[in-house]
Structure 1
Amino acid sequence: MSVALSKRAEIALRSLSQLELKRALKALDELDRQSRNESRFHDVSRVNVGSEKLFAYKASERLRLVFSVAEGRVFVEDILNPDQYQRMVGRKA
């Protein structure tokens, strides 16, 4: 599998501080590594939003990578802070 970013996730990356950017890039590398080497992801939770099959990966205390998996590819839909994540799922992040 490979990891791809949506336009929205790319914009979110560009808006991060240097420290958060470093953490997000490390988390993206980890997702990529897991997608290539393992049959299951670790430290990932299912996100219930409508009928979409979305997952969240904790990049740091302040960031969640929200992604889907389809056609042999991990597609990062968005990179969210806890408030944004809470609004998306309707519960505490």
Structure 2
Amino acid sequence: MQLVLERRAEIALRSLSPTEQKQLSRAMDEIRATDPQEFYRSPKVHRFIAASGDALYSYKGNRGLRLILSVNADTCTVEEVAHHDRIMPLLKQPRPQ
């Protein structure tokens, strides 16, 4: 799967500690190595609906940080890096049937 980083995600990554940067780099490598059809089945992926109505995905980067992703066919865009506690209310939304 192709991976694209938005500017705000790059800035957030640079502000992290070297250990956190390595952990999120590994997570991004995992995403790149994932078959697009298998991406949605990963236990590290959680779907939620943004305020704009768009489907976004949270990918577990480490214990406290998540990659916020948008997916279009075989391209995954890292929109933002967020702390787990800040996005928990979004992840608790009911899943669409």
- Same fold flag (TM > 0.5): yes
Alignment equivalent of 2:83, drawn from 81, 84, 87: 81
Bigger drift between 19-28 and 48-57 goes to 48-57
- In 1, the alpha carbon distance for the partners of 2:91 and 2:61 equals 20
In proportion to residue count, which structure has more strand? Answer: 1
| SS of 2:16 mapped into structure 1 | coil
Question: Which residue number in structure 1 is paired with residue 47 of structure 2?
Answer: 46
Change (3 A) 1:46 1:62: same
TM value normalised by structure 1: 0.83
Identity percentage of aligned residues: 35
Q: Which range moves more in the overlay, 22-31 or 62-71?
A: 62-71
* Unmatched runs of 5 consecutive residues or more in structure 1: none
Write the distance in 1 (CA, Å) between the matches of 2:73 and 2:59.
19
In the other structure, the counterpart of 1:14 is 14
Cα drift, residue 9 of structure 1:
0.4
Aligned pairs, number = 88
User: 1:17–1:47: structure 2 CA closer, same or farther, 3 Å change rule?
Assistant: same
Ranges in structure 2 where 5+ consecutive residues have no aligned partner? 93-97
Q: Answer with 39-48 or 52-61: which moved more.
A: 39-48
